[in-house]
């Protein structure tokens, strides 16, 4: 259930009015509901209760320490795709033995860091990466636990930028050569094969592709075991979709059932890497109306948040529901809700029926907890905004607003140049 609701005419997150947070931290800011993070994690985890499993939260969705730590305390593992994400996960208190490391381009330094940290498993995406990992493991003096990420060649039926399990995508090892790749892994002295991994895409709203992919993986496990590989773990990736507007994604229990049915006789420990499902609806971006104007027929609402704060509408043309923090009864007229950045692509909504809001009013951009702050930048020299974790009737600033000093912190002007 959403924790972003109107109470007495004002949008709250849990029991805290968003305007009270704004009065203290300014705008824009992200607000996350601890209860929603917890409920989503728990619902997902319980869906798989009948089998041994690890819910490895995809840190890329929202890597803020306060968010990852909230999940780590519930027992969540982590799926990381860079040494930086691994660092975040460890700092947030995730047990290294519940961390998997995915990604097509791990460097030798990143591999060594993860190996020393004692992570559960590397999801290796090419034979060349396997050879590189073998060399790093020899140097570090520790065998590398490995799953190969196999590209199942399944169409996930989602946005083309976030579909990953098709042959034409850069991810994973072609399923046609999976057994050869495992044979190579078996020959490498510092590689310890323990699992199999796949991930077909994000914002999945249909179970058919999931069922196809997991069934292919289950069949592959049978073949790999017959080839002599000890496959203990099956990582099925992330991807379960959420409601942004009118989508009908499966419930976590339905998703879990499809996965569990496909692997039921295999005795594997399942790993799932949900990101969006846990964090997406648990966060909102709160912003202030700066100006209103009309250019001919066109109505614009100019706000103090922009594509640098929330890139998804500009990059994927994705929909985020936007509501005034003070409840309006009228539905309004079409408007573009745009930020201050000097690009036409800087919008959070286009042609959206929106009530007449005043200058200074606050708006809440909903379902922004995943791939919101984690994709934020300082484009146009806009300091990154604050993040707040709401917990019942309290809130905690989990990331302060950046300052101008923060913007130039790592820069120097070379002497002699100016």
d(CA 63, CA 275): 10
CB-nearer residue toward ligand LLP: 3 or 202: 202
Q: What is the CA radius of gyration of the chain?
A: 23
Residue 121 Cβ vs ligand LLP, minimum distance, rounded to whole Å: 13
d(CA 284, CA 271): 28
Per CB under 6 A, residues contacting ligand LLP are 58, 61, 79, 102, 162, 164, 199, 202-203, 237-240, 273-277, 312, 316, 370-371
| Segment (H or E) for 77 | strand 77-80
Residue 38 Cβ vs ligand LLP, minimum distance, rounded to whole Å: 17
Q: Is the peptide bond before 402 cis (omega within 30 degrees of 0)?
A: no
Q: Note if 385 is an active site residue.
A: no
Residue 328 Cβ vs ligand LLP, minimum distance, rounded to whole Å: 28
d(CA 179, CA 273): 24
Residue 247 Cβ vs ligand LLP, minimum distance, rounded to whole Å: 12
d(CA 141, CA 218): 32
CB-nearer residue toward ligand LLP: 229 or 320: 320
**Secondary structure letter of residue 280 according to DSSP:** G
Residue 58 Cβ vs ligand LLP, minimum distance, rounded to whole Å: 4
Residues pairing with 264 in the sheet = none
CB-nearer residue toward ligand LLP: 213 or 357: 213
The residue among 363, 397, 359, 402 whose CA lies nearest residue 379 is: 402
Which listed residue (13, 198, 342, 385) is catalytic? 342
CB-nearer residue toward ligand LLP: 63 or 239: 239
CB-nearer residue toward ligand LLP: 88 or 299: 88
d(CA 357, CA 360): 9
Structure-token match 């030798």, residue found? 108
- The residues annotated as belonging to the active site are 342
């Amino acid at each position: 259930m959403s924790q972003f609701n109107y109470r007495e005419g004002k949008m709250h997150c849990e029991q805290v009015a968003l305007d009270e947070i704004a009065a203290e931290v300014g705008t824009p800011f992200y607000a996350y509901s601890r209860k929603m993070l917890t409920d989503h994690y728990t619902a997902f985890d319980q869906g798989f209760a009948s089998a041994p499993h690890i819910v490895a939260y995809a840190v890329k969705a929202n890597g803020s320490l306060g968010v990852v730590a909230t999940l780590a305390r519930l027992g969540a593992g982590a799926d990381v795709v860079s040494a930086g994400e691994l660092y975040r996960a460890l700092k947030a208190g995730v047990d290294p033995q519940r961390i998997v490391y995915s990604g097509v381009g791990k460097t030798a330094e990143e591999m060594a860091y993860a190996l020393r940290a004692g992570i559960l498993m590397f999801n290796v995406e090419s034979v060349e990466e396997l050879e590189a990992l073998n060399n790093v493991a020899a140097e570090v003096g520790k065998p590398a636990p490995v799953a190969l990420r196999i590209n199942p060649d399944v169409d996930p039926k989602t946005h083309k930028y976030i579909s990953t399990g098709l042959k034409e995508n850069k991810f994973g090892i072609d399923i046609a050569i999976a057994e050869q790749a495992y044979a190579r892994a078996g020959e490498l002295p510092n590689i310890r094969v323990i699992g199999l991994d796949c991930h077909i895409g994000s914002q999945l709203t249909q179970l058919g592709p999931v069922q196809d992919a997991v069934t292919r993986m289950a069949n592959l496990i049978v073949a790999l075991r017959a080839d002599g590989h000890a496959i203990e773990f099956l990582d099925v990736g992330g991807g379960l979709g959420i409601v942004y507007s009118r989508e009908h994604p499966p419930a976590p229990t339905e998703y879990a059932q499809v996965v569990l049915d496909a692997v039921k006789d295999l005795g594997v420990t399942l790993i799932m890497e949900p990101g969006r499902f846990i964090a997406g609806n648990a966060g909102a971006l709160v912003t202030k109306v700066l100006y209103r104007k009309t250019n001919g027929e066109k109505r614009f609402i100019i706000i103090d948040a922009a594509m640098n704060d929330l890139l998804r509408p500009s990059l994927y043309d994705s929909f985020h529901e936007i509501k005034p923090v003070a409840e309006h009864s009228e539905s309004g007229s079409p408007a573009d809700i745009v930020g201050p950045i000097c690009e036409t692509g800087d919008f959070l909504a286009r042609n959206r029926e929106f009530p007449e809001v005043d200058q200074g009013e606050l708006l809440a951009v909903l379902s922004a907890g995943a791939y919101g702050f984690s994709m934020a930048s300082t484009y146009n020299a806009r300091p990154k905004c604050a993040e707040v974790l709401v917990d019942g009737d309290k809130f905690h600033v989990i990331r302060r607003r950046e300052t101008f000093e923060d913007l130039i912190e790592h820069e120097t002007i070379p002497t002699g140049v100016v």
